[in-house]
């Protein structure tokens, strides 16, 4: 089992210290989430709350994921990074392929690209991207990025993207793992058929076996049951070793610890965050191993 720490909502001036501390106490890596902005008027419904209201607002800090990962990678040596999740259909795949390849190279291959279709229509409208059909675009974006990452001169002629023969240098030393977020049947199928793994956005322990079983079924249908596959979950319940062991038996490969704004408290000092990380490490990570 791999243990990940979410740095979502982290205070920007403490982020690098949190990364160093996470590495020191034994976390596999950190999860970095993103939004480009928060609209003054939000009509879109947040899919992970009962009333559709997000747990963040206009004052919540959202750093650019590529800049913050690069900064954290520069002050750590083993810590891994997952974008959980990067809203891929907001961007052109060439731009994302370049950014991800650069971060992967400079970090020594410590990046996994977690992607999702997004839920906030306001972001798509402001950036001039179509909200409808974003899932189909993302499927093709995955193909484009993997083609680019092979290195050498390549071209792509698809439904949404047409690229003349071109070469992006440098290419990553190995294809960057792509993990898919989303709990819908379409998202699970996308993860099983196109992804290197699936990442959850908040589930109860009772929900995970059904999801894991469905992923196994879909991977078998696609002839991919023998390929490496990550299942990384963020649980809505407090961390518990017995629960984690049961989930590992179901195929779960990693769990994400709650953001420090919840475990250490909002506005906590770096000492408070250090204590929260050390407590998780001593009570969960050390005992699990």
Q: Say what percent of the chain tops pLDDT 90.
A: 97
In the prediction, which pLDDT does 171 show? 96
User: What pLDDT band is residue 124 in, cutting at 50, 70 and 90?
Assistant: very high
What mean pLDDT is predicted for residues 63-90?
A: 98
Structural domain boundaries enclosing 24: 2-288
CATH number for the domain harbouring residue 235: 3.20.20.30
Whether 200 and 183 have beta carbons less than 8 Å apart is answered as yes
Residue 267 has pLDDT above 90, yes or no: no
What mean pLDDT is predicted for residues 173-193?
A: 95
Residue 106 has pLDDT above 90, yes or no: yes
Domain tally, the chain: 1
User: What pLDDT band is residue 289 in, cutting at 50, 70 and 90?
Assistant: confident
C-alpha Rg value of the chain to the nearest Å = 19
Residue 179's CB is within 10 A of a number of other CB atoms, namely 25
Residue 172 has pLDDT above 80, yes or no: yes
Whole-model pTM: value is 0.95
Cβ neighbourhood burial of 164 (10 Å; 0-12, 13-18, 19+): exposed
In the prediction, which pLDDT does 232 show? 98
């Amino acid at each position: 089992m791999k243990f990940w720490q979410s740095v979502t909502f982290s205070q920007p001036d403490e982020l690098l210290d949190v990364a160093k501390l996470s590495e020191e106490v034994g976390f596999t890596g950190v999860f970095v989430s993103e939004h480009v902005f928060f609209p003054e008027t939000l009509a879109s419904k947040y899919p992970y709350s009962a009333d559709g209201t997000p747990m963040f607002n206009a004052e919540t800090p959202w750093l650019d994921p590529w800049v913050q990962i690069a900064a954290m990678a520069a002050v750590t040596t083993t810590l891994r990074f997952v974008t959980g999740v990067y809203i891929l259909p907001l961007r052109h795949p060439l731009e994302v392929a370049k950014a991800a390849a650069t971060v992967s190279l400079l970090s020594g291959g410590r990046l996994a690209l977690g992607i999702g279709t997004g839920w906030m229509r306001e972001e798509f409208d402001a950036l001039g991207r179509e909200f409808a059909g974003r899932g189909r675009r993302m499927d093709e974006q995955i193909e484009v990025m993997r083609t680019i990452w092979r290195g050498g001169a390549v071209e792509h002629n698809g439904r949404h993207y047409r690229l003349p023969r071109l070469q992006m240098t440098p290419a990553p030393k190995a294809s960057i793992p792509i993990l898919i977020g989303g709990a819908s049947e379409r998202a699970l199928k996308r993860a099983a058929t196109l992804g290197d793994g699936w990442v959850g956005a908040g589930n109860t322990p009772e929900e995970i076996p059904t999801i894991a079983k469905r992923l196994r079924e879909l991977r078998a249908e696609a002839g991919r049951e023998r390929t490496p596959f990550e299942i990384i979950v963020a649980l809505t319940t407090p961390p518990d070793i017995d629960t984690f062991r049961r989930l590992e038996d179901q195929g779960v490969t990693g769990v994400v610890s709650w953001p420090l704004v919840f475990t250490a408290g909002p506005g906590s000092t770096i000492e408070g965050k250090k204590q929260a990380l050390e407590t998780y490490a001593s009570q969960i990570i050390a005992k699990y191993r």
